[in-house]
Structure 1
Amino acid sequence: MINRKITSYLLAFPIALMGGVQLVFGVLSLTVFHDQVGVEFLTPALAALVCALSLFALKNKISVTEIRAREALAYAALTWFVMGVVGGIPIMLITHVSFTDAVFESISALTTTGATILSNLDSMAPTFLMYRQFLQWLGGLGIVIFVVAVLPMLNIGGMKLLKAETPGPIKDEKLSPRVANTTHYLWGVYFAITGLCALSYYVCGMSAFDAIGHSFTTVSTGGFSTHDASMGYFDSQAMLVVSDIFMVLGAMSFALHFRVWRNWNFSEYWEDEETRTFILVILAISALIAVFLYWDHRYQDPWTTFNEACFHLVSFITSTGYAADSFTEWPHVTAFLLVVSGYLGGCAGSTAGGNKFIRNILTFKIINLEMKRLVNPNAVLRIKYHGNSVDDSVMSATTAFMFFVVLSSLFVTLLLMMTGLEFWSSFTATAACLNVLGPAFGELGSNFQPVNDFGTWVLSGAMILGRLEYLTVLALFLPRFWRF
């Protein structure tokens, strides 16, 4: 059985973090933006901080160095839900949407999904818009990782939290013997790439406000924008190229970024099997989509055709969800390719969603291995990755993950169809939330407002399920998880 006191005490930190974030935005509203939403931030901020202080009182009754795998799993899952609820209160107060929709918007931001129930963003308060953008940046590397980074006291149990949160089938890579230092390095890289992205957007013509806001959601591969038209608002092919570059960087392993920059050896990007495959697949599918768009005479010149194709493909495969054109009106085959690319995902250890390319690579190698065994039943064959044999436990975890991808997609799609949505809308909404992608098609091509409350809660759960890569959440439903 999980230790409820330890779990409750740990939840005080993300609650305090969200309260602090809302406090800052409340002050910004009153002193910088003067947009009359300060009270709507300060009130829930104070409530969150008071709640966190009451949970901090448990410290003298527990030992946080005794964190087990059960507490780590429960904490990782509960953090996203609790943060979603706390983060949604200002959204409800400012936009006057229902509590259900506000929590959906908040979870969508924190999990970097980018699905929204809001419209008329261009007329909303600047403080609120930047708050949405910042929530995605905060959730990009994971709130649990942030907590480990700021809690040196968790250096013993911290690795369990890091494993529960880190995406990818191989979770033992550490940049430093100390877990807290590892997370500091990751956040240092995250800060650096975000700063470069903001500067690049500003040089291309964005205002400082938009450049900072979009850098938050580009590097986090979140996809929220301060405008209803998303990146199409700026009508700039150069900005799409900048966005491509930083979406790809956000979808690559941050541990790899750190090693490349520490050794100043950029060839490591190409030498990394996952990253190399990721880039090659982007180029191949982008070219294929560009061919279909060219045949459809969608754009006037080949460069614009390829640039639009590449931008939207990168937006989907990295699970960012930006849009620069009405891609829902593109040929059906391109819509299919975009949805499939969302399942492919980015690289492990990144901010991207989806299956992650390391799993795609291993799945292909597992299938290839089984085919070889059919031809040579007595052969001794091993799967290798980066020249090293892959443990059976990793292959089993990869196979189980792919099974749950299919099962979860089917189950959530059926639940949404029960609410009255037609198949294509239900399936693409499921794909958008499980892959923390954002955009859907059909009835939900503009936003998720048509979904009823039951469907909205289902999709909120799907976002957390996809963000924590299925097994971390599904383990909570095992009866033995709650036994001694």
Structure 2
Amino acid sequence: MGLVQLVFALLSLALFEDGVMEDFLFSSLPMLGVAVWMLSSRSDWRDHPIGLRDSLVFAVMTWVIMGLLGAIPVMEITGVSFTDAVFESVSALTTTGATILDNLDSRPRAFLMYRQFLQWLGGLGVVIFVVAILPMLNTGGMKLLKAETPGPIKDDKLSPRISSSAHYLFIVYMVLTFTCAVGYFLAGMDLFDALGHSFSTVSTGGFSTHDASIGYFKSDAVLWVANLFMLLGAISFAVHFRAMSGRSLKIYWRDEESRVFLLTVLFISLLITSELLEAGIYHHPWDAFQMAMFHMISFVTSTGFGAADFTHWPAFVALTLVISGYLGGCSGSTAGGNKFIRNILSLKLIALEIKRIMHPRGVFILKYQGKSLQVSVLSSTIMFMALVATSTVVLTLILMGTGLSFWGALSAVAACLNVLGPAFGELGSNFQPVTDFGTWVLSFAMILGRLEYFTVLTLFLPVFWRF
């Protein structure tokens, strides 16, 4: 974080000339000093193997500490409170995209790009996290990623797995980011906006350099570039790697999770289109479909971009978008939500139980990608879904206790747990109306949802700390 902020201090001085170099240096230099001291005083830490327990602690503390440190320039440059600055920083690093800031168009450019880059940095960390740590936890279908992750897998040791996986996934991440920036530039954005929005699109973060988000550009070409790369950011990066290696787009369709994900996006987009036409929001079917498709993709991929005033759309559409945020993207991607692999397994489990009721003596096997699944994977899926529902109810009640309406509290919790960003009700513009206590609750919710519940909650169990 010290290096990142030092780079933006130099960019502020040499490139943007926007007068915020000192604000970045104020936090950057002490961080670098502490980091150098820690590395020089501990020479034996590289010799210790990293186990699962260490990995969970490191994963949670990385997002917590990075969120706190990343907040310092936000507080110095914008003048917001430490609570709001932490919320903004955590929102960026978890690729949530919820914000307490306004007047973005007048903010210093180095600061705006810093927000965008934090999302890109957090998205890369998420990709490595979900393919290296979550499969070891068997959190409801995520263990299936082990067989899909690129790179050599000889055993369950974590360190070699991270090294091999990170190498391949970093290449995919860089390729998508570069091509996205080129696409935005060709669609009409200037270089600054193209690069900044590529950071938040591929990471499915949703921050923008403008208050009006993607709607600022009033360009159909920009919308469809965003659609494409939001979808690519929400599809497993392991699938991207296989498609690039095999040079075949058929791999996306052959992957069951990707196929169901894309078909669901199309179906719900058509459903929203019909409702927008029925309500008279749009009169031309193509305009309605274009806006429905964009916002459906934005919510289901947990990106959170906006191109219209969707907070005033019919209640049916608003609730559909919130539910879409819970569906999420694919496993092994930067998207949030439940992940489609869990949605698929849950529906298959329901169908299986119905078959058992109708045929009590029948023997049925649940398969995914043509392979039968272990009972532990299925039970973890149901446990995960129950945990999502419980967390939503509890956190919504807590936020309602701070004074928010039911719809505002529910949409805010959904936005943070699913690392989605936009909310409805009194929070339709930004999260400024939330109290300090509510802001800390939502910051916790973002980390809880980003690390997929079990990773965080496990640390609160006494048995976890027993050696």
TM, length-normalised to structure 2? 0.95
Which residue of 255, 268, 273 corresponds with 1:285?
268
In 1: Cα distance, 2:235 partner to 2:150 partner: 16
User: What residue in structure 2 maps to residue 478 of structure 1?
Assistant: 461
User: What residue in structure 2 maps to residue 176 of structure 1?
Assistant: 151
In the alignment, structure 1 segments of 5+ residues that lack a partner are 1-17, 149-157
Give the conservation status (yes or no) of the 8 Å contact 2:6–2:29: yes
2:142 aligns to what SS in structure 1? coil
Give the conservation status (yes or no) of the 8 Å contact 1:92–1:102: yes
User: What is the CA distance between 1:379 and its match in structure 2?
Assistant: 2.1
Q: Does 1:230 align with 2:201?
A: no
User: What residue in structure 1 maps to residue 61 of structure 2?
Assistant: 78
Alignment of 1:461-476 (within 5 A): 461-476=444-459
- Letter of the aligned partner of 2:31 in structure 1? A
TM-aligned CA distance change 1:70 to 1:332, over 3 Å: same
In 1: Cα distance, 2:380 partner to 2:133 partner: 17
Give the conservation status (yes or no) of the 8 Å contact 2:235–2:333: yes
1:320 aligns to what SS in structure 2? coil
Which residue of 370, 379, 385 corresponds with 1:396?
379
Tell me which moved more, 342-351 or 171-180.
Answer: 171-180
In 1: Cα distance, 2:32 partner to 2:3 partner: 7
Give the conservation status (yes or no) of the 8 Å contact 2:411–2:424: yes
User: What residue in structure 2 maps to residue 10 of structure 1?
Assistant: none
Give the conservation status (yes or no) of the 8 Å contact 1:35–1:127: yes
In 2: Cα distance, 1:312 partner to 1:457 partner: 28
Which residue of 419, 423, 428 corresponds with 1:436?
419
1:188 aligns to what SS in structure 2? helix
1:416 aligns to what SS in structure 2? helix
Q: Does 1:425 align with 2:408?
A: yes
User: What residue in structure 2 maps to residue 357 of structure 1?
Assistant: 340
Which residue of 46, 52, 66 corresponds with 1:69?
52
TM-aligned CA distance change 1:292 to 1:144, over 3 Å: closer
Which residue of 81, 84, 103 corresponds with 1:98?
81
User: What is the CA distance between 1:364 and its match in structure 2?
Assistant: 0.4
Q: Does 1:194 align with 2:177?
A: yes
User: What residue in structure 2 maps to residue 108 of structure 1?
Assistant: 91
Give the conservation status (yes or no) of the 8 Å contact 1:237–1:304: no
Query: When the two structures are aligned, how many residues end up with a matched partner?
Result: 457
Give the conservation status (yes or no) of the 8 Å contact 2:301–2:329: yes
In 2: Cα distance, 1:383 partner to 1:270 partner: 21
Alignment of 1:337-348 (within 5 A): 337-348=320-331
Give the conservation status (yes or no) of the 8 Å contact 1:35–1:126: yes
TM-aligned CA distance change 1:463 to 1:360, over 3 Å: same
Tell me which moved more, 57-66 or 101-110.
Answer: 57-66
Q: Does 1:30 align with 2:3?
A: no
TM-aligned CA distance change 1:165 to 1:186, over 3 Å: farther
Which residue of 329, 334, 337 corresponds with 2:317?
334
Give the conservation status (yes or no) of the 8 Å contact 2:140–2:383: no
Give the conservation status (yes or no) of the 8 Å contact 1:165–1:468: no
In 2: Cα distance, 1:265 partner to 1:424 partner: 44
User: What is the CA distance between 1:70 and its match in structure 2?
Assistant: 1.2
Give the conservation status (yes or no) of the 8 Å contact 1:347–1:356: yes
Tell me which moved more, 436-445 or 396-405.
Answer: 396-405
Give the conservation status (yes or no) of the 8 Å contact 1:167–1:349: no
TM-aligned CA distance change 1:167 to 1:41, over 3 Å: farther
1:172 aligns to what SS in structure 2? helix
- Letter of the aligned partner of 2:309 in structure 1? S
- Letter of the aligned partner of 1:227 in structure 2? H
Give the conservation status (yes or no) of the 8 Å contact 1:129–1:226: yes
TM-aligned CA distance change 1:167 to 1:187, over 3 Å: farther
In 2: Cα distance, 1:357 partner to 1:120 partner: 36
User: What is the CA distance between 1:176 and its match in structure 2?
Assistant: 1.2
User: What residue in structure 1 maps to residue 115 of structure 2?
Assistant: 132
Give the conservation status (yes or no) of the 8 Å contact 2:140–2:382: no
Q: Does 1:213 align with 2:196?
A: yes
Give the conservation status (yes or no) of the 8 Å contact 2:140–2:379: no
- 1:141-190 deviation digits (Å, cap 9, x = unpaired): 316838x9xxxxxxxxx955885799962242331125212211101011
Give the conservation status (yes or no) of the 8 Å contact 1:229–1:324: yes
- Letter of the aligned partner of 2:287 in structure 1? T
In 1: Cα distance, 2:433 partner to 2:213 partner: 20
